[in-house]
Amino acid sequence: MGLLTDPRAGTGKIIKLILQWEKPLCFVLYVGGLVWLMLLALPAFNDGTYFSENALLPGLVTKESNLEHTSKQYYHELVHEMKRYPDGMPYAWLSAKFSQLHLDVFTHNFSLIYPFQEQKFTGQNVYGIVRAPRASSTEAIVVSVPYRPINSIYLDTAPSVALLLAFAKFCRKQKYWAKDIIFLVTEHEQLGMQAWLDAYHGVTSGQEGVLMAGDLSGRAGSIQAAINLEFHALKIASIDVKIEGLNGQLPNLDLFNLAQNMIAKEGIRQSFQRRFDVNYRDKIKSWWYHFNTLMSMIATQATGIPTGNHGLFHRFGIEAITLEGFEKSGKETEANFYQIGRVVESIVRSLNNLLERFHQSYFFYLLPSTDRYISIGLYMRPLVLIIASVFIKAFSIWQRLQTSTTSSNETKTNKHNSSNVVEELDIGSIASEVLWAHMFGVLVMASPRLFTMLGSTMFNLRTEDSLYASFAFITILTLLWRCCWRRSTKYETVSLVCVIASIELATALMCVAMHNFSLALLTAVVYVPVILLIMPHRGSASRFRNFQYIAWIALHPFVTAAIVVMGYTYLNFPNDTAISLLLRGYRANKQALVFTVIDSMVYGNWFYNVTTAVMMPIWLLFWNVMHSSAAMPSQ
């Protein structure tokens, strides 16, 4: 504390050097962090994957299953049954098939109270349990499939349901299981899985009164791991392993390695982020390919949205992945359900060998390919360099503030012949500004229900239109607030607000990085260079003032979200006209806003909460600094 409160602390050589070279040092740190991050995609800067848990070693497993014939029978029966229920799930048929296999069969009813219009939606999951003959139901493994009706907009999962039933029939005859195996078919995608997990663990993950999980009539042991299956055809060309979970959580790296090893062992083409490993002789091409794969994972993880039903298991300490199989699209070699079944069998049997929960290997990592990884000890350093530039900026402003205050006090002391005259900071004004900015962010975070109610009752708007109009109004209000009211205040007050905002941003990024590194990284890369340019200033304009205004407006949380969605729309529809792209982007923005709010209420995704309650107040504080006209203190 002495370093922060004693003005004489600024007389050290190191501190003088930092103050003298502040801007070049911050620039070097930022660029150095970016370069370091890009270098991590090179094989020389990352490591090859390996098994940390010997019990998972797949070489010990002798595979016995042949599920192709049985899967085809179940598939054709299921397709016939699906035609009878084009919009729903054939509960009776699934329950009957599980019962014929002599499993413990249960159904699970759940409901969703739509938070904006008080509408109620219902759903049902069906699951069967193979009890472990060599244990007393203390541990369990889940094999799940999301059921999709014929009229679903998503890819078909009927082959996965058929494979699950065939594998359940195989497992029922084996006597070596040491863990219960739960075969789960869920309805309504991630909604059904979240309801089942909440009911299984007796908790409510989202807001109270939104997702009514109900009760389970049958349970197994403590779930150790889960495999979610999404095969879209009886013959597939490749299997993509999905790992990203809710709020950026990842499964233990050993589970990912196990799946990739088993897929390769069966001669099936494997991928990650829908990208196949390519060995380029040219090192530049090799680096560029691995860097694109790495950035694809970072972009996916940063959203906090699970890439499959597996992503909802992670919050309960359950390691889970999704295996997604795609149809042949070119000249690829096809794999049938004999090979796919052996992949599933080997993974489940390896998990059955575990004597304890996953605890070795890594839970925090990035993947540039299917067989290489970057551990947290490597990827945190580039982010720390980038964030360090913000801390140095805050420290430099504070030291200059201390120096200027000391000089001013000494002048006044000599003038008035008094040693007790000290120019104090306007702490009340500073505290009020920081408090109101954060109160505004919290109010915006809690406002969607109110906005929807006002929009529907006063203007007869739909939910997405009400939310979009409300947040557009908030964005315009925050942009025009300081433009219409330029305040003149002390330089010291503006400087301290800038210091507080900088420290808060840097601290928030470090906290977020410990849970979702990708979100913190992308936020830092975008925000830090503009923040380094924002300084308390005189009333006169500077060379970079207009650039700062334009850049900071573009970095308004809701403006940035709109730009990202518009860019994503362009990438997916590059041949559309400009007007068509704008209309698509407008509709996509409305839907993305609604989905983000719904995810926070139902699943506990905190992307919306962080954006409104953390990033928006910080944005407002810097916006106030930019529009505050302050006179420089006399030197």
Residue-wise pLDDT for 487-527, tens only, equals 556 778 888 889 999 999 999 999 999 999 999 999 999 99
Q: 350 and 395: one domain?
A: no
Inside any domain, residue 463: yes
> How confident is the model at residue 35, as a pLDDT?
95
* Closest to 342 (Cα-Cα) out of 448, 402, 265, 249: 265
Q: 537 and 607: one domain?
A: yes
d(CA 504, CA 501): 5
Inside any domain, residue 280: no
Inside any domain, residue 198: yes
- pTM, rounded to two decimals: 0.90
pLDDT digits (tens, 9 = 90+) for 619-632: 999 998 887 765 44
Q: 122 and 15: one domain?
A: no
Q: 390 and 318: one domain?
A: no
- The answer, yes or no, to whether residue 325 has pLDDT greater than 60, is yes
Q: 306 and 390: one domain?
A: no
Poorest-confidence range of 331-335, 369-373, 402-406?
402-406
Average pLDDT in the chain: 87
Mean pLDDT calculated for residue range 98-115: 92
d(CA 195, CA 186): 9
Q: Under a CB-based contact definition with an 8 Å cutoff, are residues 169 and 345 in contact?
A: no
- The answer, yes or no, to whether residue 413 has pLDDT greater than 60, is no
Poorest-confidence range of 9-13, 42-46, 184-188, 222-226?
9-13
- The edge-to-edge listing of strands for the beta sheet with 180-186 is 211-212, 104-113, 120-130, 180-186, 139-146, 222-231, 319-326, 238-242, 269-271
Q: 174 and 232: one domain?
A: yes
Q: 271 and 226: one domain?
A: yes
Inside any domain, residue 46: no
Q: Supply the range of the domain harboring residue 547.
A: 10-41+379-406+427-627
Q: 18 and 113: one domain?
A: no
Neighbours of 418 (CB within 10 A): 9
Q: 322 and 253: one domain?
A: yes
Poorest-confidence range of 304-318, 391-405, 472-486, 509-523?
472-486
Mean pLDDT calculated for residue range 553-569: 91
Cα distances from 248 to residues 223, 261, 304, 363, 630, in angstroms, run: 21, 24, 5, 11, 42
pLDDT digits (tens, 9 = 90+) for 252-308: 999 999 999 999 999 899 999 999 988 888 889 989 999 999 999 999 999 999 999
Inside any domain, residue 160: yes
Inside any domain, residue 1: no
Task: Calculate what percentage of the chain has a pLDDT beyond 90.
Answer: 54
Residues ≥6 apart with Cβ < 8 Å to 9:
2, 3, 15, 399, 402
Inside any domain, residue 524: yes
Neighbours of 90 (CB within 10 A): 22
d(CA 510, CA 527): 14
Q: Under a CB-based contact definition with an 8 Å cutoff, are residues 275 and 293 in contact?
A: yes
- The answer, yes or no, to whether residue 233 has pLDDT greater than 80, is yes
Q: What are phi and psi of 51, to 5 degrees?
A: -90, 125
Strand partners of residue 120:
113
> How confident is the model at residue 482, as a pLDDT?
64
Q: 178 and 309: one domain?
A: yes
Dihedral of alpha carbons 70, 75, 81, 87, sign: positive
Mean pLDDT calculated for residue range 137-163: 92
Inside any domain, residue 418: no
For 77, counting Cβ atoms within 10 Å of its Cβ (0-12 exposed, 13-18 middle, 19+ buried), the class is middle
Per the structure, the count of domains in the chain is: 2
Q: Under a CB-based contact definition with an 8 Å cutoff, are residues 586 and 444 in contact?
A: no
Quick one: pLDDT band at residue 53, thresholds 50, 70, 90? confident
Q: 58 and 37: one domain?
A: no
pLDDT digits (tens, 9 = 90+) for 580-600: 889 998 999 999 999 999 999
Residue 293 sits in a domain of what CATH number? 3.40.630.10
Q: 604 and 543: one domain?
A: yes
Q: What are phi and psi of 272, to 5 degrees?
A: -140, 130
